[in-house]
Each structure stands twice: as structure tokens, then as C-alpha cells.
Amino acid sequence: MKAAVVDTTTGDFVTQKHRIDTPRPATPDALADVARQLTEHFEWEGQVGVGFPGVIQRGIVRTAANLDDSWIDVDGDALFTEASQCDVHMINDADAAGLAEVRFGVGEGVSGVVIMLTLGTGIGSAVFFDGELVPNTEFGHLLMDGVIAEDRASSRAKEDQGLSWEEWGIALRDFLLEMDKLFWPELFMLGGGISKQFEHFAPFLEGVRAPIKPAERFNRAGIVGAALCRQPISPRD
Ligand code: BGC
């Protein structure tokens, strides 16, 4: 779990990023305690935005595919607010990363439908129309030949299955082709640590109609976007 103080007008970090290993099992109470430690580290008493790897509706966690099932239906906003004594609002992690890229990164100024995909332990997705977020899309759970997309095209899938750039790039291309066919976006933005190595897999993505750009802010986007979700003009879900 990582945090930084963010200037939401520029999308820049005001402090260094601070990181604490995610406790295992990643139960609500264990993560809430890390949230407390992170806010204490910065001596922070203001608003906090948290990017969470699951569906979040009005602060309630609805799914937690890669965490712990005990998260389901937990009021994440209330739990983290209580633990940290700061005013906390949760947002899906990919929605957060997408917000940062649309506001300050490769998606800035792009009108129409823009799709962010984060490639990490899972695949997160965020959809924007004219810069406005449609929250909680879960395209990483799309079934492709009976297999969940994130089990084939996440960076975890590449690592666990020992896939070459070509093998993994083709799996990602198939996923992008499916998304392209269903949504006809103006742009795909790719995030997650692996997007830093875009040149290794870009050659295998040919045939996808929409332009594909790696995120500019890489792993910073999640933190910046979580902070942006605290702005009044941003969606609350
Ligand atoms: C979750 C999403 C999340 C993504 C990336 C998926 O397994 O269902 O909500 O955005 O992983 O963390």
C-alpha cells in the first residue's frame, strides 16, 4: 500500500511516496491499520482518497477479487475514516488511475470514449466519455474462450505462466480487439508497471483499430487519481 500527498491542481506529488507492504491476509482491519500508519507518516489530517482493487459503490466494497473475501459489503469509507481519523473516500483503483491520465496524462483533451486498462495482478478498467468517468466497469472479468481476461492478459498471468512478450502480447491484443469491437473507443490508455515496457509488446498489438498509448504517470496515476476523487466535481462512486 502506498501513499503520497498530492497537489490536485497539477497532479504532482508534494511529498515522496511512502510504501508499506500489504499485510497478508489482506483483511479490512489489517489494511485499515496500514491506512492509519500511512496518514500518521505524513502527519495528515485532511481529506484522503483511496484506490481499491474492487467495485466501490458509495464507499461500500462490493468485490475484492484479488484481496480477501471478508471485504465484501464492508463500508470502506467508514472503516478507513475511523482508523485514520481523516475523511476517507474510496474509489476503484483503475477508475482512479484513469482519472489521473484523463486529467493530466495521455488522455488529456481527448473527447469521446476513452478506455483505461491497468495491467497488474488483475486487469482494471475505467471508461470516460468526454472526460467524465463511468465508474466501476470490470472488463478484466470479461470471459474470453471461457477464461477470465485477467487470467490471460494481466502482468500476473505473464509472470505466473512464464509467457514471452509475444505470447502475452497476443493475449493482450485479443482482449483489446474484443474491447475495440464492443466500445469503439477513441483511445486505449494502458497502465500498471508493465506499461513502462510498452516497446516490448507494442509490436504484437497490431490490428487494434483505436490508438493505444502507455500511461504517462505509470504507478503514480493510482495515487494521483485517488486524490482527485476528493474534488467536488469528480464522481463520488
Ligand atoms: C478487480 C478490479 C480492479 C482490478 C485491478 C480486478 O480483479 O475486479 O476492480 O480494478 O483487478 O486491481
Helix (H) or strand (E) holding 138: none
**64-109 pLDDT, tens per residue?**
989 999 999 999 999 999 999 999 999 999 999 999 999 999 999 9
Q: Whose Cα sits closest to atom 4 in ligand 1? A: 124
Q: Ligand 1: does its nearest atom lie under 6 Å from the Cβ of 76?
A: no
Please report the domains of the chain, with CATH numbers, ordered by start residue.
Answer: 2-94 (3.30.420.40), 109-215 (3.30.420.40)
Q: What percent of the chain has pLDDT over 90?
A: 93
**109-162 pLDDT, tens per residue?**
999 999 999 999 999 999 999 999 999 999 999 999 999 999 999 999 999 999
Give the burial class of 9: count Cβ atoms within 10 A of its Cβ; 0-12 exposed, 13-18 middle, 19 or more buried.
exposed
Q: Ligand 1: does its nearest atom lie under 6 Å from the Cβ of 95?
A: no
Residue 178 CB partners (closer than 8 Å, separation 6+): 142, 144, 149
Pairing of strands 143-144, 132-134: unpaired
Q: What is the pTM of this model?
A: 0.95
